[in-house]
Structure 1
Amino acid sequence: MHIASLPYLDEHATVIAAGTDDVWRGLGETLDRSFSRPRAAGYARLVGTADRTASGPRPLAEGSTFPGFRVVAAVPGRELVLEGRHRFSSYALIFRLEEVGPDRSRLRAESRAAFPGLAGGLYRRLVVGTGGHVRGMRHLLSAIRRRSE
Structure 2
Amino acid sequence: MSTKVTESHWDQNGKILFTSLKGNVDEADIFAWKHTLSVAVASIPTNTEFKVLLDLNGFDPVSISAHKAMRNVIPELLATHGLRPAFIDLFDEKPEMIISCDDGKRCTAFANVHHDPNKMADYRKRIGGDRQQFFTDKDQAAQWLNGLT
TM over 0.5: no
Give the TM-score taking structure 2 as reference length.
Answer: 0.29
Which has the bigger relative contact order, CA under 8 A and spacing at least 6?
A: 1
Scaled by the length of structure 1, the TM-score of the pair is 0.29
